[in-house]
Structure 1
Amino acid sequence: MKTISVLAMLFAAAAMPALAQAADIDWTKVDAALGKSAVVSGDVHRYGLPRSDLKVTLDGVAIKPALALGGWVAFAPMGGEATVMGDLVLLDTEITPVMTSLLDGGLDITAIHNHILRASPATFYMHVGGHGDPVKMAAVIRSALAASETPFDPPTTGAAPTPAIDLDTAKLDEIMGVKGTAVGGVYQFGVPRRDPSVEMGMKVTGPLGGANAINFQPTGNGKAAITGDFLVTGDEVNPLIRTLRANDIEVTAIHSHMLDEQPRMFFIHFWANDDALKLARGVRAALEKTAIAKS
């Protein structure tokens, strides 16, 4: 018993410095370096970077930032420092200068791609990653985004009130099987997978971009524009996209967001503008082709 107690004490002593370092992250300094306040979910600090400056239209729909222009970065403590993951919304002319600044600052680029088609102006999505001092990484991200028009100023006082969600949200919740959230005039659903993927020894959860994201923007008379992304394994890709097409939902992109996650995951983006309840049924049928968490 004495040997076990000594080993336990030695293990605890070895583990304490890393735990203390993680706990000692001064998140107020990260906030200051990035010029934003975080939404905190457990250990994850997520910062919204919506492109509210852009006026993007698609098939006659004025895209709200919460529908398809919601950039973000999220930090999670790891090994006494932090891991960062994120998705930056950029115009084509902003991609190279932002990328160059991020790379010069020691961060990694893990993907660049479209999410939607036919949008005017065209928008692209740059996924970033890194591990290190969270304050330094936040400063690099802030500096890099200075090469874009990404807004950092807080909303002006007296801004227009958030539009109401002109949809039967209770029925949408029932069909989708999860409770949605109204954000910026858009009704959003986050549907986690049953078993999150793992990258660098850390589970990639919803706040880090590891969940199915389904967004509904009302377009009048019970209709909605929908977009977002499904998070699937390779064997789930074609069953899911066949179901989307069978329900008249356009598949707009299939790609990766990360580099080393296990199991390997693919993100499927989509678009439709039709009766909201009909689209919800199609989305739910597609989700059933994947290993989602069941309540």
Structure 2
Amino acid sequence: MIIISSSETARRRTVGRFCRAAALLAGLVATGVAAPGGTATAAGPERPRAAASQTRAGTQRLPVKAIEKILQADGQVSKSGVLEVDIDRKDLHVIGGNPPVRFKDGFQLQHELFFQSLGRGKAILNGDLTLRPQEIQPVIDAFIAHGLTFQAQHQHLYDMRPMVWFVHFRAIGDPIRLAGAARAVIGKTSTPLPQHSPPHPRTPLPVRKLERVLGGDATVGENGIVTVTVRRTDKIRLGGVVVDPDLGVSTNIQFQPLGRGRAAVIPDFSMTASETQPVISVMRRHRWEVGCLYNQETDEHPQLYFSHMYRVGDPVELARQIREGLDRTAAKRA
């Protein structure tokens, strides 16, 4: 019979606890889990946890490259994650406005497609197409055939020569399928494809000053054309979905440089019903030509109205006048 003293028993218990703790720690490190209160080692949780986070975030992201490949055109992702793909109607040669100006590629005459992720492999697409008159009915038929909702048909300016039309559509579903449907519809037009954005676009216009005056985000495209988007600050639902302000429902302003410090400028105001009269009153006081007033979405709450206007002059002074109009709406403040 072996008798173990109480002090020896305590020693063995201490050693046992130490061994079990060491074994547990070894197991945690081997599986990439940090010990409680400890820090992760190189084999610890940093990469697995980041990967899990990226996987969850990935469900909210759009397959941008795949969409661009299908549409055969480059896009831009906004700060809020909305993908915009603009496809120029390089085959149209339009003169418009008073005084008349030749609209260069990238100025007003393009298809605009906006994709917003809804998570779980779904997205909402909101878009509009620039069409010749003979393309309108085939495009509407293609909307119907591909399950896209036809929303609007209108002109932007009343004196464009030749006259072109703009049709709006939307859909919810798998973003790859939506891109394929949009590409099939565009195939009913004579739009030249593929298209690529200029790698280093330049402009003689004061881009940063225009951003500051208008309170929006500017991009520079082909032919030095500057587009400034000023986001709405209210909540907009489209087809029952809360949409991002970058999904084509905010005010955007385009500037086409004309030389000698002048530009042709077309704001596309986004307004609720109560905002339309105040905005148009301000702009007419500054002698802007009002080209149209229309809805571009159906099943939209609150219902928005859009108006394209036109003037030629100093771009910064015209931007200040547009800002006066924007101040009558729920647009982001400058």
The reply on whether 1:72 has 2:72 as its aligned counterpart is: no
Structure 2 residue 75 is the aligned partner of structure 1 residue 38: yes
Q: Equivalents in 1 of 2:210, 2:57: separation in Å? A: 44
The offset of 1:55, in angstroms, is 1.4
**Partners in 1 of 2:217 and 2:172 — Cα distance?**
33
Counterpart residue number, 1:11: none
Per mean C-alpha deviation after superposition, the further-off stretch among 263-272 and 45-54 is 45-54
Q: 1:111 aligned to 146, 149, 152, which one?
A: 152
2:210 aligns with one of 166, 172, 176? 172
For residue 291 of structure 2, give the secondary structure of its aligned residue in structure 1.
strand
Q: How many residues align?
A: 274
Alpha-carbon shift at residue 50 of structure 1 (Å): 1.5
CA displacement, residues 151-205 of structure 1 (integer Å, 9 cap, x when unaligned): 222359xx9985x533344543443244533222112211111214122443333
Post-superposition Cα deviations, 1:85-139, rounded to whole Å, max 9, x if no partner, equal 1011111111111111121111111011111221111111111111123222222
CA 1:230–1:196: 2 relative to 1, 3 Å: farther
Range with bigger deviation, 283-292 or 147-156:
147-156
After superposition, what is the alpha-carbon deviation per residue over 1:206-232, rounded to whole angstroms, capped at 9, x for unaligned? 431021101111223222111131111
Choose between structure 1 and 2 for higher RCO, CA contacts under 8 A separated by at least 6 residues. Answer: 1
The answer as to whether partners of 1:249 and 1:270 remain within 8 angstroms in 2 is: yes
Counterpart Cα distance in 2 of 1:173 and 1:207: 16
**Please, what is the CA RMSD of the aligned residues?**
2.7
- Of residues 136, 157, 169, the one that matches 1:128 is 169
**SS in structure 1 at match of 2:226:** strand
Compared CA separation, residues 271 and 36, structure 1 to 2 (3 A)? same
Query: Residue 224 of structure 1 aligns to which amino acid in structure 2?
Result: A
Alpha-carbon contact 1:194-1:294 (below 8 Å) kept: no
8 Å contact from structure 2 (residues 232, 245) kept in 1? no
Aligned in 2, Cα 1:32/1:171: closer, same or farther, shift over 3 Å?
closer
Relative to structure 2, which stretch is displaced further, 43-52 or 185-194? 43-52
* 1:222 is the counterpart of 2:261: yes
**How far apart, in 1, do the equivalents of 2:253 and 2:263 lie?**
12
Q: Give the letter aligned to residue 266 of structure 2.
A: T
In the other structure, the counterpart of 2:319 is 280
Aligned 1:245-264 pairs, distance under 5 A: 245-264=284-303
Letter in 2 for 1:50: D
Task: Point out the more displaced range, 214-223 or 251-260.
Answer: 214-223
Q: Which has the higher mean CA deviation after the structures are superposed, 121-130 or 65-74? A: 65-74
Q: Tell me, what secondary structure is at the counterpart of 1:153? A: coil
Q: Which runs of 5+ in 2 are unaligned?
A: 1-55
Matches within 5 A, 1:14-25: 22=59
User: Contact 1:67/1:228 (CA < 8 Å) preserved in 2?
Assistant: no
Normalising by structure 1, report the TM-score.
Answer: 0.83
- 1:201–1:89 distance in 2 versus 1, CA, 3 Å: same
Q: 1:97 to 1:282 in 2, by over 3 A?
A: same
In structure 1, distance between residues paired with 2:313 and 2:219:
20
| Aligned equivalents of 2:290, 2:241: Cα separation in 1 | 30
- Equivalent position of 2:238 in the other structure: 199
Find 1:266's aligned residue among 299, 302, 305: 305
- Tell me whether 124-133 or 35-44 shows the greater mean CA deviation: 35-44
- Which has more strand, going by share of residues? 1
The letter of the residue matching 2:290 is V
Name the amino acid aligned to 1:48.
D
Which among 181, 206, 223 is matched to residue 140 of structure 1? 181
Residue in structure 1 matched with residue 126 of structure 2 by the alignment: 85
**Amino acid paired to 1:74:** F
1:61, CA displacement in angstroms?
A: 1.1
- Give me the whole-angstrom Cα distance separating, in 2, the residues matched to 1:161 and 1:39: 14
- Please identify, of 70-79 and 208-217, the stretch whose mean Cα deviation from structure 2 is larger: 70-79
Match of 1:95 in 2: 136
User: What secondary structure does 1:208 align onto?
Assistant: coil
Structure of greater Rg: 2
Where do 5+ consecutive residues of structure 1 fail to align?
1-18
